[in-house]
Structure 1
Amino acid sequence: MKLYVFIAVLVAAVVITDCSHTFLGTNVLRQQIFHRNVKYSSYLFQKRVEYLNFTVPNRFGYSSSIQGILAYDKLDSSASANVTAGGLGFNYLSLRMKSERGRGLSYDVYIFA
């Protein structure tokens, strides 16, 4: 009986953690400084790789470092979004988005300072 419970919990944990959304930092009491709906069509039998580059403008004053990043996959696919340069604590960000083979990309990207 204990073995069945252990296997059920393990399978549930694997299913729950299999998502392609990226959450870094915090958005609590932070100002949203960037939002973009990123959408690219698919390549036949290939993975699509795209980069989103962002630099915080000077108009936001002394808190010009990035405090939170949210990249939400609207297709609920196994695509991935990774920070390749900058990110939390920096004033710039390079976000690499890679799709599934033969599928497009559709992300909502939010950045908070």
Structure 2
Amino acid sequence: MKLVALSACVLIFVCVAECKDLIVGTNLSNRLLWQQKVEYNAIPLKKRVKEEFYSDPGQQIIKGIIARDLDHDDSSVTITAGGVGSSFVNLRFKSERGSGLNYQVEIYA
């Protein structure tokens, strides 16, 4: 029984370590403000960079940001401005060389 539990913990750790998802704040009992799919086609031997900006017209405070990598590759996403505690956020997506971007972004208030 202990071996099975240990194997499950190692498997979960490996999956979490391999994912390039961005999860900041919480989405529990919060309202979905914005949802968008961010895509960018691949160009051989080039890294693709795309910036996505969200600003709430009602000035609601962001409580959670989730950006899921749908391709499960080595692309990355970072917050360059705003974020949790602000009413705006600027996300910067960067692909691996020769790969595209495919993310699902959700912002909660």
Task: Please classify the TM superposition score into its range, dividing by the shorter chain length.
Answer: 0.7 to 0.9
Q: SS where residue 74 of structure 2 aligns? A: coil
Going from structure 1 to structure 2, the CA distance change for 1:112 and 1:13 (only over 3 Å counts) comes to closer
Q: SS where residue 104 of structure 2 aligns? A: strand
Normalising to structure 1: TM-score of the pair?
0.82
Offset of residue 15 of structure 1: 3.0
Going from structure 1 to structure 2, the CA distance change for 1:12 and 1:51 (only over 3 Å counts) comes to same
Q: When the two structures are aligned, how many residues end up with a matched partner?
A: 100
Identity over the aligned pairs, expressed in percent? 36
RMSD, aligned α-carbons: 1.7
Q: Flag structure 2 segments of 5+ consecutive residues without an equivalent.
A: 1-6
Q: SS where residue 20 of structure 2 aligns? A: coil
1:75-101 Cα shifts (integer Å, max 9, x gaps): 000110100000000001000000111
* Deviating more after overlay: 35-44 vs 88-97: 35-44
1:34-73 Cα shifts (integer Å, max 9, x gaps): 0001111012201101000000121xx7xx1100000000
Q: Flag structure 1 segments of 5+ consecutive residues without an equivalent.
A: 1-7
Normalising to structure 2: TM-score of the pair?
0.85
